[in-house]
Amino acid sequence: MKAYHLNGHAGAGRLVQVDVSKPEPANGEVRIRVEAVSLNYRDLLILDRAGQGELNGRVPLCDGAGVVDAVGSDVVQWQVGDRVAASYFRDWISGPFKASYIASALGSNALDGMLAEYVVLPATALVSVPAHLSAVEAATLPCAGVTAFHGLVARGGMGKGDTLLVQGTGGVALFGLQFAAALGARAIVISSSNEKLARAKALGGSILINYRDTPDWDVALMKATNGAGASHILELGGPGTYDRSLRSVASGGKIVQIGVLTGFGPKPDLARLQWENADIIGVTVGSLEHFAAMNRFLTEHAIHPIVDRIYGFDEVAEAYAHLRTGSHFGKIVIRF
Ligand SMILES: NC(=O)c1ccc[n+]([C@@H]2O[C@H](COP(=O)([O-])OP(=O)(O)OC[C@H]3O[C@@H](n4cnc5c(N)ncnc54)[C@H](OP(=O)(O)O)[C@@H]3O)[C@@H](O)[C@H]2O)c1
């Protein structure tokens, strides 16, 4: 079968297509014929880290969906032909997070990911693909979709009458926007592009701010909400956005701490949290249980993920390059 491996080479050669033998499922395992994978911002960070050689031979990408192709003995919950997606953390099935789950993230330090024609995973690490979604759409869900759902819905309790701020129009942001629209919450979108803001409006965004034209977007947000602020904030930027997020949070609001788009290590002044009785919710993707709950939500609300562009299996370097431009709206997918 064909797969991609990371290596320590410079530039586009850091991702190489290789021919390797098709893996066989052992007891309790399932082999998936992968139909589509999607890219996340974390995959750029991992690609850059691969330059130091520490990820040589690792199959990248956490997001993928496909069809069960073979099952090992003792597997009762899946049959050949079932449509499935892999959960981000192989070992986080349900319940609270444990630090030990980090090592079970697909396509990172310790485990191979989904950028291969066939992948073998434990039967317990998969969810059914909602019937209304194509493989391309399902491949967008495991990281960006689950992160937004876990933070905003499962932990954040977002609902009717709430106001959500999303930063940018990438994968996590647009899932958040779609969830807000489905729940009857008002959505505020900040973006670098007026054209993207117009598209976000069509998805339910009601307060639209261009953060290039209006760097003080927190001031504009407060004005547009008559001083109330946002009850829920998808904090995706990190050091470049955190202070403004703190100044945008409503009384009793929740900042869902997720992203590093402007770098790591924000040093925010947290005093406003206590004045506003607001909370920070820290999120690392989510569990298989969160994924299954999100899939029920997607089905109930007939939500289709927003796919920006679809690349072929031989166009992986182009897909990564497109993600790096930041010009996408929603998710970038590779269809096999
Ligand atoms: N904690 C977790 O478990 C977790 C899970 C998933 C993702 N993340 C993190 O969340 C972030 C988003 O991930 P993603 O995969 O959705 O990324 P993405 O699809 O690559 O999103 C990129 C978009 O973010 C927007 N953006 C960039 N800089 C911005 C800024 N300073 N202010 C506001 N928006 C900005 C831009 O949209 P516009 O062009 O519209 O401005 C850009 O196109 C990343 O930092 C990622 O590492 C964390």
d(CA 248, CA 272): 10
Residue after which a domain boundary falls, among 262, 282, 302: 282
Task: Give the model's pLDDT for residue 12.
Answer: 64
pTM of the model: 0.98
Q: Is the CB of 142 under 6 A from ligand 1?
A: no
Whether residue 68 is contained in a domain is answered as yes
Residue type for 233, please?
Answer: I
pLDDT tens sequence across 249-287: 999 999 999 999 999 987 888 999 999 999 999 999 999
Phi, psi of 62 (to 5 degrees): -95, -20
Looking at the structure, do residues 180 and 274 belong to the same domain, yes or no?
yes
Cα 321 to chain centroid, rounded: 18
Element (H, E) at 137: helix 135-138
- Ligand 1, from 261, 264, 332: best to mutate by most atoms within 8 Å of Cβ? 261
Q: Which tokens belong to 229? A: 């602020």
Question: What is the DSSP secondary structure assignment for residue 143, as one 8-state letter?
Answer: I
Query: Are 252 and 294 in the same domain?
Result: no
| pLDDT of the residue at 49 | 87
**CB 87, CB 125: distance < 8 Å:** yes
Task: Check if the beta carbon of residue 158 is closer than 8 Å to that of residue 180.
Answer: yes
Mean pLDDT of 129-143: 98
Asked, for residue 149, whether it belongs to a domain, the answer is: no
Segment 7-17 mean pLDDT:
81
> Pick from 157, 138, 335, 165: which is nearest to 250 by CA?
165
- DSSP labels, 211-243: TTT-S-HHHHHHHHTTT--EEEEEE-SGGGTHH
Percentage of residues in the chain having pLDDT higher than 70: 99
Question: Of 282, 298, 326, which closes a domain?
Answer: 282
Q: Is 192 in the pocket of ligand 1 (CB under 6 A)?
A: yes
Do both 8 and 128 map to the same domain?
yes
List CB contacts of 134: < 8 A, sequence separation 6 or more: none
- Using the 3D structure, point to which of 243, 259, 282 is the last residue of a domain: 282
Ligand 1 site, residue 258, Cβ cutoff 6 A = yes
The CATH number covering residue 127 comes to 3.90.180.10
Q: Is there a single domain that holds both residue 116 and residue 25?
A: yes
Say if residue 48 is in the same domain as residue 6: yes
Place of tokens 């050669």: 13
Please state the rounded mean pLDDT for residues 57-83.
Answer: 97
Does any ligand 1 atom lie closer than 6 A to the CB of residue 260? yes
Report which protein residue has its CA nearest ligand 1's atom 13: 41
**Cα first-last separation, the chain:** 12
Q: Let me know whether 12 and 130 are in one domain.
A: yes
Whether 150 maps to a domain, the answer reads no
Q: 193 and 177 share a domain? A: yes
Residue 79 CA to ligand 1 center (angstroms) comes to: 36
Mean pLDDT of 168-195: 98
- pLDDT tens per residue across span 22-45: 999 999 999 999 999 999 999 999
What residue numbers bound the domain in which 169 lies?
156-282
Stated as kind and residue range, the H or E segment containing 325 is helix 316-325
Number of structural domains in the chain: 2
Task: State the average pLDDT over residues 57-72.
Answer: 97
Average pLDDT value for residue range 290-299: 98
43 and 105 in a single domain? The answer is yes
Q: What mean pLDDT value characterizes the chain?
A: 96
Q: Is the CB of 287 under 6 A from ligand 1?
A: no
In degrees and rounded to multiples of 5, residue 15 shows phi and psi of -115, 115
Same domain as 277, residue 241: yes
For Cα atoms 243, 249, 254, give the angle at the middle one, nearest 5 degrees: 110
277 and 290 inside one domain? no
Cα distances (Å, whole numbers) of residue 259 to 106, 124, 127, 128, 297: 18, 28, 25, 27, 23
- pLDDT recorded at residue 54: 82
Indicate if 93 and 206 belong to the same structural domain: no
For the Cβ of 144 lying below 6 angstroms from any atom of ligand 1, the answer is yes
